[in-house]
Amino acid sequence: MSKKRRTKAKLKQHTKNNRPEELKSVAGQPIVWLAGSMIVVALIVFITHRPALDAKALLFDDAQYMTKNPLVQNPSWESANRFLTEVLEPSTVQGYYQPLSMISLMLDYGIGGRPDNLRPFHRTSVALHVFNTVLIIAFLYLLFGKPLPAAMVGLLFGVHPITVETMPWVGERKTLLAMFFAMWCLILYVRYTRTGGWKAYILCLLMYVLALMSKPTSTPLPVLLLLLDYWPIGRLRWRSLTEKLPFFVVGGIFAVITIISQGRTAVAEMPTESSFLTVVLTICHNIIFYLFKMVWPTQLAPHYPYPNPFDLSSGMVLAGVVGTCVLIPFLIISLRWTRALLTGWFFFFVAIFPSMGVIGFTNVIASDKFAYLPSIGLLMVLTWLVTRIWNTSAHNTIRPAKRRLIAVIVVLVLAASEAVTTRHQLARWQDTEGLFRYMLTVTPNAASPHYHLATVLASLNQTDEAIEEYEIALRLNPNDPDTHYNLANILARTGHIDDAIDHYQAALTWNPRFALAHSNLGNALAAKGRTEEAITHFTATLKLQPNNFRAHHNLANALLRQGKSDQAIEHYTRAVQFNPELVIAHRNLGRELARRGNLQEATNAYREVLRREPLDLQMRYELGELLVLQGNTQQAAREFNRVLQIDPSHQNARKALAVMNSTPTP
């Protein structure tokens, strides 16, 4: 037999040996069981998460992902193109490159999603979670060959409370979408190992790219494929390593893109910026924290701050260190009997490593959503255990039906308990204020929930309580520029200008490039008559944001107070260029042009005001006066008459008409 034919024969035998056992035994039957169980589990998962469709809460970063994102709110090919091409410095969302997630949110906005109508966003997210659950069942079935054990474990994932926040949290579309493509990547890879077909390999690589374009925490997937080769597929050889090289190249490129874009638009704290002890304690804390939350999912919250102090005097940190020191040796010893425990846990650890806090990109130590994809490793171990209970052998045939029934009952009880907890968790997402108040019952000493609750209260005009929450947030985190800025805004609105100035200045101390703080500080200084200082801060705003039309307008006002008319006109003009709808800028521009004798340009500015606000009688009257000065008495009379039609008591317009009528026509 030739070498080529021997290779084909080996591949055929390898494929046969690695098929799911059910497929080897009864053709067709397992597919029916698989399809039926998928439908049942999908229905249960949807019913469990049904309240997510009615959730109205908006969370930390939903503003940049939807409520204040101009590209999401203007669905178009141009918006999609910008999401795809703004690779190293996304302009509308802080952080990493995630174009597919942003396009997905844009499409939901296009079909009616709005800040006051979140259902289209939640509908897509719940559907993605249901699909992800079905894909997990398919993946576990391909690995272990048992449809019912795969469905039972998939059910435990689908209704688990730790998955809740990925659906009602609009900005977490990226987690669901990345999971969707990652699951296809894993399924296609298993298919590739069984058939050897390059079509499955290429599609697997494509799914990896799409997962990375949804959320770059999918980067470790090539390592996860190698772990699958080790267990349960059992094909870890040099070839299995070399065939992953394209995956590692793609992953490396996206890792560089992520670090650059995160550093330019948000925060990317490298491991060298923290002490080695901090990194070790963070990893140990999270290893045990996530396992505990999965086994005992209580007091779940969208925000888990770093323990304070972050050392062994903290109970959770100490538990993490002790637990890790016990867990790792146990997993290594378990290799004497099985590869399952160590490999499944290592799968989880590798998958969650980008979110472990080694590279700092967030202000939390952990988050439920970070465990969404990594949980697959633990699901593999659980499926292996259920399959061992499920299987029968020649020397172990004592009441197999009873064992299976017990396994089914245990899983159903666990799933029911999870579903009840999930429903309670979803109830907390029904409104934003209630969600943040719940978060403060879990983490009362976390600054971020106090800050965001204050922002919600400010939007509801509950000023005193908002100020109180901002002050609590500042006591917990005095260095946060956003808290200083928002507190200053409230103080300025309520007439406490001096206090507002202090907080704007504090915001700029911690973030000198805070453009809006410069702009609003300029307004406060101008209100106190400190015009020169105000001009300095308006100018600083425009250096950071050259298109900031409000800063141009406010700078023009300040320059006008100093008698710098030419510069004021220049900035009024830029203000209306960048925002033609800024009526007050048109009005001020027109009046200053008229004062300078530029009557035709002033007339044009006045007409722009009246085109947008036709009931502005003072502007219409002033336009009539301008037309009189230009000799256009017929048009002037028309404007004065329009004023009197709207307000017959307008004495100035009546006098102007009388003067015009008494003046002989030349």
pLDDT tens digits, one per residue of 346-394: 999 999 999 887 776 777 899 999 999 999 999 999 999 999 988 865 4
Question: Any idea of the CA torsion for 347, 353, 354, 357, to the nearest 10 degrees?
Answer: 160
Spatial neighbors of 238 by CB under 8 A, at least 6 apart, are none
Please check the confidence at residue 540 and state whether its pLDDT lies above 60: yes
Both tokens of 20, joined, read 């799911």
Q: C-alpha 246: how far from its chain's center?
A: 29
CB 11 within 8 A of CB 196: yes
- The predicted structure's pLDDT at residue 358: 75
Whether a cis peptide bond, with omega within 30° of 0, leads into 309 is: yes
Please check the confidence at residue 666 and state whether its pLDDT lies above 60: no
- Average pLDDT, integer, range 294-298: 94
Q: C-alpha 343: how far from its chain's center?
A: 31
- The predicted structure's pLDDT at residue 239: 87
pLDDT tens digits, one per residue of 331-344: 999 999 999 999 99
- Percent of the chain exceeding pLDDT 90 equals 74
Phi, psi of 71 (to 5 degrees): -75, -40
Length of the chain as a residue count: 666
- Average pLDDT, integer, range 27-47: 87
- The predicted structure's pLDDT at residue 73: 95
Nearest of 421, 457, 464, 459 to residue 437 by alpha carbon? 457
- Terminal alpha carbon distance of the chain: 117
Please check the confidence at residue 13 and state whether its pLDDT lies above 60: no
pTM of the model: 0.85
pLDDT tens digits, one per residue of 107-119: 999 999 999 999 9
- The predicted structure's pLDDT at residue 3: 46
- Average pLDDT, integer, range 389-400: 64
Nearest of 420, 482, 498 to residue 448 by alpha carbon? 482
- The predicted structure's pLDDT at residue 397: 54
- The predicted structure's pLDDT at residue 366: 92
Mean pLDDT of the chain: 90
- The predicted structure's pLDDT at residue 457: 95
pLDDT tier for residue 631 given thresholds of 50, 70 and 90: confident
- The predicted structure's pLDDT at residue 640: 86
Give dist(CA 454, CA 452) in Å, integer. 5
Residue type at position 383: T
Query: On the CB side of 288, how many CA atoms lie within 13 Å of its CA?
Result: 19
CB 298 within 8 A of CB 373: no
- Average pLDDT, integer, range 414-428: 97
Q: How many CB atoms lie within 10 A of CB 218?
A: 28
Question: Any idea of the CA torsion for 232, 233, 237, 241, to the nearest 10 degrees?
Answer: -90
- The predicted structure's pLDDT at residue 282: 93
- The predicted structure's pLDDT at residue 28: 47
What separation in angstroms does the CA of 454 have from each of 396, 466, 476, 608? 63, 4, 14, 39
Please check the confidence at residue 11 and state whether its pLDDT lies above 80: no
- Percent of the chain exceeding pLDDT 70 equals 93
Q: Which residue has the higher pLDDT, 436 or 273?
A: 436
- The predicted structure's pLDDT at residue 29: 60
- The predicted structure's pLDDT at residue 360: 67
- Average pLDDT, integer, range 187-202: 92
- The predicted structure's pLDDT at residue 16: 46
